[in-house]
C-alpha cells in the first residue's frame, strides 16, 4: 500500500484526485503502477486502477492477470470494478472506503457479484486512515 500511496502523491501534485494503484505479480514483485491522470490527460477513463491494469497486462503480454493483486488507495468505482473483473485479477486490496461511488462493498459490490464469472478476493481497510487523509487533505485545499 505504501507504493500505491506514493503513486497517489504523484496524482495530487499534478492536480488529479490523489488515488494510486499498483499491480503485484504472484510472487509479490511490482508489475505496474498508476495514479489518476484524468486532469493531466483529459481522459475520463484514466483512473489509477485502469492505468495500472493496462500497464501490468502490457508487462505480462497477456490481458489475464491471474495470480496478480491490485492494491489501490481508494475503493474502486464501478468502471474500475468492471476492469478488475475483466482482467481476472485474483485479489484487490484497498485502503479508504468510498461511500459515494465504491463498487467493492460500500455502495455496490460489483467485484464480488455472484452473477459474474470472476470474483476476486477483496481485502479492505489497509492503511485506511492514511489513504483517507490524503483525499481529505486534497479536497480541503481545493
Residues in the annotated binding site for Zn(2+):
47, 77, 80
- Catalytic hit among 39, 49, 75, 130: 49
DSSP 25-72: -TTS-EEEEEE--HHHH--TT--HHHHHHHHHHHHHTSS--TT-EEEE
CA pair distance 58, 43, nearest whole angstrom: 19
Question: Is 49 one of the catalytic residues?
Answer: yes
**Sequence-separated (6 or more) residues with CB below 8 Å from residue 24:** 30, 31, 68, 69, 70, 71
Collapsing DSSP states into helix, strand and coil, what is residue 114? coil
Catalytic residues: 49
Amino acid at each position: 500500500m505504501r507504493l500505491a500511496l506514493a503513486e497517489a502523491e504523484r496524482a495530487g501534485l499534478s492536480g488529479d484526485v490523489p488515488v494510486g494503484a499498483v499491480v503485484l505479480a504472484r510472487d509479490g514483485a511490482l508489475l505496474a503502477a498508476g495514479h489518476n491522470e484524468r486532469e493531466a490527460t483529459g481522459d475520463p477513463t484514466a483512473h489509477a486502477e485502469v492505468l495500472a491494469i493496462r500497464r501490468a497486462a502490457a508487462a505480462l503480454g497477456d490481458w489475464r492477470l491471474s495470480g496478480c493483486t491490485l492494491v489501490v488507495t481508494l475503493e474502486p468505482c464501478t468502471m474500475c470494478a468492471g476492469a478488475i473483473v475483466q482482467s481476472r485479477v485474483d485479489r484487490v486490496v484497498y485502503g479508504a472506503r468510498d461511500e459515494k461511488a465504491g463498487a467493492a462493498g460500500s455502495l455496490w459490490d460489483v467485484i464480488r457479484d455472484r452473477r459474474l464469472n470472476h470474483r476476486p478476493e477483496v481485502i479492505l481497510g489497509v492503511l485506511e486512515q492514511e489513504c483517507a487523509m490524503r483525499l481529505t487533505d486534497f479536497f480541503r485545499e481545493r
